[in-house]
Amino acid sequence: MKTQWMNALALAAGMTGLFTGSATAADYPVRPIQVIVPYSAGGGTDLSARIMADTIKKYLDKPMIVRNQPGGGGSIGTSSILHARPDGYTLGMGAQGPLAMLPHYGGVDYSIDDVEFLALMGRNLMVLAACQGAPFDDAQGFLDYAEAHPGEVRVGNSGAGGANHIAMEGLANAAGLEVKSMPFGGSSAAVTACVGGHIDGVVASPAEVLPQADNGGLEPILVMEDKRIDVLPDTPVPSEFGIDFAWSSWKGVIAPKGLPEAVKKTLSEALRKTFQDEDFLSRMKDMGEFVDYRTGDAYRELAEKDSKTAEAIIRKLGMYGVNQQ
């Protein structure tokens, strides 16, 4: 009899917890939501997150608070996001480097499989530009010269193993070419070297390339997208030359795996409205950010595709697992 009573009590407690949990998820959010930015304050990801937090107030009942947790190329903050309690009160900005690239270098305690992708916010596009004195001035010229002179074309990037480096190596690999990647201490340094004629080409964002292009300091010759972009309508894309490759760095909103479905639905809908909000779009455009809203499933698809691409290139470069302890 005692055993039956204890079993009944345990069942009742379990049912109470179930209903309480359901009610909590249905009432979400009941307190402020924290968003971790894995980079320092003042950068593009941080400023974008703050515009998002300011806009999403229209679509959630509670405020969103941005907290910066930089370090490790974004891996420290990303680790905190993915190891948080999956209750919807700790979210984060999920960037390409920490999610799709750093795990292949090793030294991080998470993988892309630990991520709940909620919504893609935007992307930073990649442009290949010809430098002063380069032996080519358009995309076909670059392809022909690189094919005739394997390993001789010097292409600058923002740093070894970074998104711009992977972009150029990926393009070269897809085109069956070999180039000489030249790492610099950031995109600005690489673009400066390009304008000075110290390298043959450079990979950078449209915002970094356009001012110098307007001044005649360099010439955009290829945009690593599936189709041409409005700001560079005369610049072709790889598919126009039969090259199956597109690459951009991106950022969106992520959470740890295990979110209650009701919480995930509430967040996904609020983020959709936020990233399509006219005021949000206007403020992001003024800041030079390229908004590209995608659902959580589409965001995951992009991240997993880039992770596989990055892994193949990183292995080819002999950099796979270099940070493993």
Query: pLDDT averaged over consecutive 10-residue blocks of the chain (325 residues)?
Result: 45 46 72 96 93 97 96 95 98 97 96 97 96 97 98 95 94 97 92 97 93 94 96 96 96 97 97 98 90 98 96 93 77
Provide the Cα torsion 314, 317, 323, 324; round to 10°.
Answer: 80
Token pair, residue 143, equals 């392809």
Whether 324 maps to a domain, the answer reads no
Ranges of beta strands (E only) in 69-158 are 90-95, 115-125, 127-130, 154-157
Are 40 and 68 part of one and the same domain?
Answer: yes
Taking CB atoms within 8 Å and a gap of at least 24, the contacts of 55-59 are: 55/274, 55/277, 55/279, 55/280, 55/283, 56/270, 56/271, 56/274, 58/273, 58/274, 58/277, 59/269, 59/270, 59/273, 59/274
Count of residues in the chain: 325
Angle at 287 between CA 123 and CA 310, to 5 degrees: 20
Number of domains forming the structure of the chain: 2
pLDDT recorded at residue 40: 92
Alpha carbon 155 to its chain's center? 22
Q: What is the pLDDT of residues 153-172, one digit of tens each?
A: 999 999 989 999 999 999 99
Whether 308 maps to a domain, the answer reads yes
pLDDT recorded at residue 288: 81
Are 142 and 87 part of one and the same domain?
Answer: no
Q: Which residues contact 177 (CB under 8 A, 6 or more apart)?
A: 143, 146, 147, 150
Are 196 and 261 part of one and the same domain?
Answer: no
Are 66 and 153 part of one and the same domain?
Answer: no
- DSSP type of residue 131: P
Q: In this structure, are residues 89 and 60 in contact, taking their beta carbons and an 8 Å threshold?
A: no
Are 196 and 218 part of one and the same domain?
Answer: yes
Q: Which residues contact 219 (CB under 8 A, 6 or more apart)?
A: 129, 130, 137, 138, 213
Q: What is the pLDDT of residues 33-72, one digit of tens each?
A: 999 999 999 988 999 999 999 999 999 989 999 999 999 9
For residue 311, give the CATH number of its domain.
3.40.190.150
Q: Are strands 127-130 and 180-183 parallel, antiparallel or unpaired?
A: unpaired
Domain, as residue range, for 150: 127-241
Are 120 and 253 part of one and the same domain?
Answer: yes
Alpha carbon 189 to its chain's center? 22
What's this model's pTM, rounded to 2 decimal places? 0.85
pLDDT recorded at residue 43: 87
Are 257 and 310 part of one and the same domain?
Answer: yes
Are 256 and 115 part of one and the same domain?
Answer: yes
Angle at 37 between CA 35 and CA 43, to 5 degrees: 135
For residue 146, give the CATH number of its domain.
3.40.190.10
Whether 22 maps to a domain, the answer reads no
Q: Are strands 127-130 and 201-204 parallel, antiparallel or unpaired?
A: antiparallel
CA 38/CA 158 separation, integer angstroms:
19
pLDDT recorded at residue 24: 62
- Of 64, 113, 120, 116, the closest CA to residue 96 belongs to 120
Q: Tabulate helix, strand, coil % of the chain (nearest 5).
A: 50, 20, 30
